[in-house]
Amino acid sequence: MDNQKIKELADKYGTPTFVFDEKSLKERMRKIKEIVGNSVSLCYSIKANPFLIPAMEEVTDRLEVCSPGELDICKALHVPSEKIVYSGVCKTRENVKEAVEYGAYAYTAESVLHVEYLQMEGREKNKKLPVLLRLNAGSQFGMPKSDVLRIIENRDKFDFLDIVGIHYFAGTQRGKIKQQIEELKMLADFFDDIKTRYGFVLERLEYGPGLPVSYFANESFEDTLKPVKELADALKDIASRCRLTVEMGRFFVSECGMYLSKVMDIKSNKDTNYMIIDGGMNHVTYLGQVMGMKVPVIEHIKGDGDENAAGYVMPAVSGMKDENEEKDYAICGSLCTTADVLVRKVPFKNLEIGDLLVFFNIGAYSVTEGIYLFLSRTMPRIVLIKEDGTTVLVRDYVETSKINTINKYL
């Protein structure tokens, strides 16, 4: 999208605003599907960006739901139950009951307790439930192999469960593809071991490879599909042995999003030039960014100036402007905390109040991961660009002051 179209979006919808491009997203998903082939199913982890559910429902086989709230979103959007993999930690019996009533392609069991909840709910509904046992990968998620084997060994006691496979996810932004290849071999051996021990064949593998995406200016954007290309042969190999679903969020949707923010103030102190934007760390979160030390991909688009400040700019401030001189700036947000620094040092030419800053590769997580309630700032608008180029406002500004206000004194 060229700068003129981005500026038109900012003029139409204002700032701060998240913009998600459904056409570019679907094009990326089609390319990924071509790389992995038809034997590999794709599952979108909706926690990455729930506003992309309708688009992703069209181009993926499954949607991973990790909380009761996410299930409510899917209900509101009338997502077919057979598209849902119901996952997530901290499930209560009531959560499981609600999920089973709606239905799912499979239910992930994070623990022995979850297995018991699912068994109880299956018995109550007199319905056999398809279950994926989540195998621990070194974190708080899933079960050790010993628990998985014990459940399979005693599967006759879980007569309302159909243990169909394994769910495995080790982490995100993992750039050494050798790790994923070794994991897939380990999982294939584990499937074989279960077959040998118990004469039991696991049919499905829900696998999250955690492929990396590029965020920062010093990283390569030459071929952002390279990680899945490098892993494709290993995925196809295990897909020949079981029904494989590759589950991802960040790798699918990061590139389709941008964040529009306006320069609200410019000032200088000692050797540092500061710009204040109408967003900040409450909206912009890049995984791996530490206190603004890394520079994401940012576009500076000239604005129409600040009509509110016209004629009142102090000479010392206006003297900072020099169209031919590039100056370094710290990009700071609208929160009253010294932590609200998006970038500590990045060069700009002819920066003025009212200019537009566009943060790219922000299609995943920022829209839900920011500290939105801090200081009761307004939450951004969210705009979708449809495949035909039309734009739709899917969420207006939200005043968090209403959420942070008590209704009455107790």
Q: Give pLDDT, residue 408.
A: 67
Q: Give pLDDT, residue 318.
A: 46
Length of the chain: 410
Q: What whole-number distance in Å separates Cα of residue 63 and Cα of residue 31?
A: 19
> Which distant-in-sequence residues (6+ apart) come within 8 Å of 207 by Cβ?
168, 169, 183, 184, 187, 238, 244, 245, 246, 247
Look up residue 380 and give its DSSP letter. P
Q: Give pLDDT, residue 406.
A: 85
Encoding tokens for residue 192? 């074989």
Domains and CATH numbers, the chain: 22-254 (3.20.20.10), 256-400 (2.40.37.10)
Could you tell me the pLDDT band of residue 256, with boundaries at 50, 70 and 90? very high
Residue 310 pLDDT greater than 80, yes or no? no
Average pLDDT over residues 142-162: 97
Q: Give pLDDT, residue 33.
A: 98
CB atoms within 10 A of CB 91: 24
Residue 299 pLDDT greater than 80, yes or no? yes
Q: What whole-number distance in Å separates Cα of residue 296 and Cα of residue 289?
A: 9
Q: Give pLDDT, residue 397.
A: 97
Tell me the residue type at 256.
C
Residue 319 pLDDT greater than 90, yes or no? no
Q: pTM for the whole thing?
A: 0.94
Q: What whole-number distance in Å separates Cα of residue 90 and Cα of residue 68?
A: 10
Average pLDDT over residues 51-79: 98
